[in-house]
Amino acid sequence: MFRKSTSLVSTSALVMALVGPVAAPLAAQPQECLGHDLNDPALSIPMNAPAHTWTLYNLGPGAIVIRTSAGQILPGPAPSSEPEPVPFSGETGTSYAIALAGPGLTIVYICPGL
């Protein structure tokens, strides 16, 4: 169910070198979760889903926020070594991205749907 995008980059690069370009190598399949390492508050991970609903997991230790295209900063799921799924529903027409709340690092999983 979970897949880390950092490992996808190296796998996709290897496949691309051997057989040519791969369409959307980091795109999640329906109901598939993608994991991301966050280590810089200036970087953000876009949350893309046609229904604007996600389930989020924060493995910690860093705190995360959800940034909106409207300029709002919303609280993200609390860090936990045994994270509980946190549902998040967005508004149509608004883009969302996950980022660190401050200095630190964390691993976050973004799953399409609730």
pLDDT tens-digit series, residues 34-62: 999 999 999 999 987 667 889 999 999 99
As given in the structure block, the two tokens for residue 2 are: 């979970």
Query: What pTM was estimated for this model as a whole?
Result: 0.70
Q: Please determine, for residue 92, whether its predicted confidence score (pLDDT) is greater than 90.
A: no
CB within 8 Å of 110: residues ≥ 6 apart? 28, 33, 34, 36, 45, 47, 54, 56, 98
Q: Please determine, for residue 23, whether its predicted confidence score (pLDDT) is greater than 80.
A: no
The alpha carbon of residue 47 and the mean position of all alpha carbons in its chain are separated, in whole angstroms, by: 6
Token pair 């070198």 is found at 17
pLDDT > 90: percent of the chain: 51
As given in the structure block, the two tokens for residue 77 are: 């799921």
Burial class (CB in 10 A: 0-12, 13-18, 19+), 77: buried
Q: Which domains does the chain have, with CATH numbers?
A: 28-112 (2.60.120)
pLDDT tens-digit series, residues 3-16: 554 444 333 343 34
Angle at 58 between CA 73 and CA 11, to 5 degrees: 110
